Amino acid sequence: MRRPNWVPAGTDLDKPNAARVYDYYLGGSHNFEADRQMARKAMELWPDLPRIMRANRAFLRRSVHLLAEEKGITRFLDIGSGIPTFGPVHEVARAVQPDTRVVYVDRDPVAVAHSRLILADVPDCAVIEADLRDVDDLLSRPEVVELLEPGEPVAVMLVAVLHFVTDADEPEKLVARLREALPPGSALVVSHAGLEGRPDQAGSHQDLYKRTPTPLTMRSKDRVRGFFEGFELLEPGVVYLPEWRPDEPGTVGPHPERMTGLAGVGLLP
């Protein structure tokens, strides 16, 4: 196989990677057959997975657009960013605010290597390898310090990442530490795998992820709402992915809970 120019040297093309599997669900092209096989296996257990992933990406797009357009935010810290393809934060925000700066953060060295190649010629976009679970290390990185230093509002994106933080790692404390580092007027964007929407699937989905290096912890709506302590939740609060400020009300559908993911956006007073 000829190696595409977006693939870092030394990449194992036969080993699936979670970030590339997500890209496949989104309909992207930054994935290999090994990733597609893993995705198809997961879809046998849960056929709605591609729709859920796309609903999650659509929420990211809507939240970034709102924060850029209505709140004037031009600085974004995307933690757990994966591979920034198929409508990434900088493209969405710059359609409204051309001078937007973005720092992409991921703990997966494969995702980071892909991202650095893809964004090599994109100005004002940085990519760092860091782990939310070591939040003080993350906040000490020069790229993050520079993003926060001027005291301008920063939007912290925690989109589909907190469910990969176990309760033992105390995710509420990690989010609180991020909040303490943010200037007034900043924002928190969260999407999270929820327990209530499809209880028939929750157990099997968590069992599937136990076989990977990134086990999944699905949480209740009350737990997800708790991440916004200290923030003012924007309407409609914490809701299922399609329900968060849809482009058109008719696109929500009769069963938004089937998307299982919960979403919300909060502002720091």
Helix (H) or strand (E) holding 50: helix 49-69
Which domains are present in the chain?
A: 46-267 (3.40.50.150)
Q: Is the pLDDT of residue 154 over 90?
A: yes
Rounded average pLDDT over 199-216: 56
Q: How far apart are CA 106 and CA 156, in angstroms?
A: 13
Per-residue confidence at 242, pLDDT binned at 50, 70, 90?
very high
Q: Is the pLDDT of residue 203 over 60?
A: no
Q: How far apart are CA 99 and CA 105, in angstroms?
A: 20
Q: How far apart are CA 88 and CA 134, in angstroms?
A: 24
Express each pLDDT in 5-31 by its tens digit.
556 655 666 777 777 777 777 777 677
Tell me the pTM. 0.86
Share of the chain above pLDDT 70, in %: 84
List all residues 6 or more positions away from 16 whose beta carbon is below 8 Å from its beta carbon. Answer: 32, 34, 35, 37, 38
Per-residue confidence at 248, pLDDT binned at 50, 70, 90?
confident
List all residues 6 or more positions away from 154 whose beta carbon is below 8 Å from its beta carbon. Answer: 73, 75, 76, 77, 147, 148, 182, 183, 186, 187
Rounded average pLDDT over 122-136: 97
- How far, rounded to the nearest angstrom, does the alpha carbon of residue 58 sit from its chain's CA centroid? 11
Least confident window among 28-42, 110-124, 197-211, 229-243: 197-211
Rounded average pLDDT over 180-201: 85
Question: So what's the pLDDT on residue 82?
Answer: 86
Q: How far apart are CA 7 and CA 38, in angstroms?
A: 19
Q: How far apart are CA 30 and CA 117, in angstroms?
A: 12
Higher pLDDT: 38 or 130? It is 130
Q: What is the largest CA-CA distance in the chain?
A: 53
Q: Is the pLDDT of residue 165 over 70?
A: yes
Higher pLDDT: 161 or 205? It is 161
Pairing mode of beta strands 187-193, 155-159: parallel
Q: Is the pLDDT of residue 79 over 90?
A: yes
Rounded average pLDDT over 130-143: 98
Structure tokens at 192: 């999270």
Query: Mean pLDDT across the chain, nearest whole number?
Result: 86
Q: Is the pLDDT of residue 213 over 90?
A: no
Q: Is the pLDDT of residue 1 over 50?
A: no
